[in-house]
Structure 1
Amino acid sequence: MDAASASCAECGTGLGPAAGTGRPRRYCSRSCQSRAYRRRRDEGRRTAVPRTRSGAPGVGRRAGGGAAGAGLVDVAVVLADAEGIGAVTLRSVAHRAGTAPGEVRRVFANRERLVEAMVQRLLAGPHGGEPPPQGTPVRVLAGLAETEWQAYRRHPWLVSVLASSRPPLVPAVLDAARASVDAFVALGLDPPTALARYVALSGYVQGMALLLLTERDEAARSGTAYPAWWVQEVRRLDRTGARRRHPWLDDVSGGVLPAAFATDVDAWFRDGLDRVLAGLAGGDGAASA
């Protein structure tokens, strides 16, 4: 590797001109070297995964870069859509792809990097990669929330990865956060407050999306669809007398909710989003949307 292209094997930072003699440098600092040594000690020797200067994995370069990596990500997404994110391992993806587990490990190094590549693909792909919506700051925030919501509707398992205090900070996640923070700043908030409002807004979207994920899991576990479950519960409430003590159940649904659960939650999400945005952006800001 020539001096111009040399970069740290741990974080991807350029190493600068090489020394005239001696062994070529592999790390930019002792801390990067220590991290690499600790990882090899804990997980065994593996291909190092370059990171961006911000510390996020270099998705699309070494971690899952190239046609082989893209194909494996596609396989992993299909597997997660069918069986949940818990079914995704390097071995299961290799089996689905008809390749050796060692090949998947060579491309992604570990499961964490594979999941990060999946998140990046879904949030920056054909559906999630559109430019941020235009218009007033509130319209921008509503559009960003809608994009996130649609990603969860298409891939319910995705919320279990992103609804975390330590989500994968891939470029697509950071871009969405920046756009949201910028919109709140445009409403007159200082950056720390704007970040707090973004977290609250994303928390609302993710909380509603968790209903989609749990319903999918419950339906798979019990074999009972949402409308059938509701009919059974209404009959049980009749037998116990609880329905008479809660007449509002008849008022809101006629005793049986007719729509599919996803349809109901989608309507609830949009009705609540307007009100959440009105509170987070301020009444004047929401009214001007």
Structure 2
Amino acid sequence: MSTKVLAALRTEGLVVAVRGVGTVVADRARPAAPAPPTRRERRPRAEPTDTSRDQVVRHALALADTEGLDAVSMRRLAAEHGLPTMALYRYVRGKDDLVRLMVDAAFAESPLPSTPPREVRAQLELAARQLWAIFGRHPWLAPAMSITRPEIAPHGMRYTEFVLAALAPLGLSVTEMMHVNLSLFAFVRGLAMGFETEAQAAQHTGLTSDEWMARQGELFGGVIGSGRFPMVARIAEIDDFDLSLDAVFEYGLPRLLAGLLHGTAPS
């Protein structure tokens, strides 16, 4: 009979068996804590699964476009994606790798045509104009690129391939073709460096370039009126003189192409 009673009490949780002691009354005021998971049962904290490398790069691209490349950091990107900073390294190896992917993504937005114009000059002009447009959309891009340390960005390298293929019929050496390509790239990139400078100045001062020039009118007029700069004074007399980057690009590109192609023409 006592055995049946003890079994019933155990079923109700009123008594427990303690090794070396026997059956004792259970402490119902303090329920036993659940056993900790075994090593096999432990699982790492789940992380968001809706993030991809492309999303990280696109996010970084948008930040750089609006706030400049310095605003892009691994810590900030991770926080805005709800990830630990170290988790971001699953997608990119570091800031340098991220910038390389951003450069490639920027070029991927404007693929060159598979069927180019027939004339060499038209092909070079097309490449230069598309490059200028890319730099205009992404002011940080021109300063981020290098001539002597080029980025391994496949979409960017397609521009080099396009220009070299356009020059191939001229019978130039590979060195000459590459120098023409670099001269054209240097012109576009060098002028496009002004996009970031202008964006930073507008952000810091809150003034457009025209508004800034208007505020410098009195000071500029005083220097010009001194008579020390007669040629510059002639420019100041032109009311509608266009000092924009686009105006300089439009003036310089056709003359650069004419000079490059004239210098490479067979004698």
Q: Give the alignment's TM-score, normalised by structure 2.
A: 0.72
- The residue type equivalent to 1:235 in the other structure is E
- 1:56 is matched with none
Measure the CA separation in 1 of the matches of 2:234 and 2:119.
39
- The residue type equivalent to 1:151 in the other structure is I
Of 169, 178, 203, 1:195 maps to 178
Measure the CA separation in 1 of the matches of 2:101 and 2:82.
19
Give the SS at the match of 1:247. Answer: helix
Give the SS at the match of 1:70. Answer: helix
1:249 aligns with 2:229: no
TM-aligned CA deviation for residue 129 of structure 1: 5.5
- The residue type equivalent to 1:68 in the other structure is S
C-alpha change, 1:80 and 1:207, in structure 2 (3 Å) is same
Asked if structure 2 preserves the Cα contact closer than 8 Å seen for 1:116 and 1:168, the reply is yes
| RCO higher in structure (CA 8 A, sep ≥6) | 2
C-alpha change, 1:156 and 1:133, in structure 2 (3 Å) is farther
C-alpha change, 1:200 and 1:122, in structure 2 (3 Å) is same
- The residue type equivalent to 1:270 in the other structure is E
1:273 aligns with 2:256: no
Alignment map for 1:107-186 (pairs within 5 Å): 107-125=91-109, 127-128=110-111, 130-131=113-114, 133-186=116-169
Q: RMSD over aligned Cα, in angstroms?
A: 2.4
TM-aligned CA deviation for residue 283 of structure 1: 7.3
Deviations 1:40-67 (A, max 9, x none): xxxxxxxxxxxxxxxxxxxxxxxxxx97
Measure the CA separation in 1 of the matches of 2:83 and 2:225.
56
Deviations 1:24-82 (A, max 9, x none): xxxxxxxxxxxxxxxxxxxxxxxxxxxxxxxxxxxxxxxxxx97011111100011011
Unaligned runs of 5+ in 2: 1-49
Runs of 4+ in 1 over 6 A off after TM superposition: none
Measure the CA separation in 2 of the matches of 1:67 and 1:186.
46
Deviations 1:184-240 (A, max 9, x none): 222232111010111010000001101122111122222222111111222112234
Identity of aligned residues (%): 25
Alignment map for 1:27-46 (pairs within 5 Å): none
C-alpha change, 1:149 and 1:171, in structure 2 (3 Å) is same
Of 52, 57, 69, 1:73 maps to 57
Unaligned runs of 5+ in 1: 1-65
TM-aligned CA deviation for residue 267 of structure 1: 2.4
Measure the CA separation in 1 of the matches of 2:255 and 2:113.
25
Measure the CA separation in 2 of the matches of 1:215 and 1:68.
33
TM-aligned CA deviation for residue 100 of structure 1: 2.4
Measure the CA separation in 1 of the matches of 2:218 and 2:260.
41
Asked if structure 2 preserves the Cα contact closer than 8 Å seen for 1:122 and 1:128, the reply is no
Measure the CA separation in 2 of the matches of 1:268 and 1:132.
29
- 1:28 is matched with none
Measure the CA separation in 1 of the matches of 2:258 and 2:223.
41
1:210 aligns with 2:196: no
Deviations 1:223-271 (A, max 9, x none): 222111111222112234547544213333x1x76x7x7xx21122122
Q: Give the alignment's TM-score, normalised by structure 1.
A: 0.67
Give the paired residue count. 213
- 2:262 is matched with 282
Measure the CA separation in 2 of the matches of 1:242 and 1:130.
52
- 1:42 is matched with none
C-alpha change, 1:93 and 1:172, in structure 2 (3 Å) is same
Measure the CA separation in 2 of the matches of 1:160 and 1:96.
26
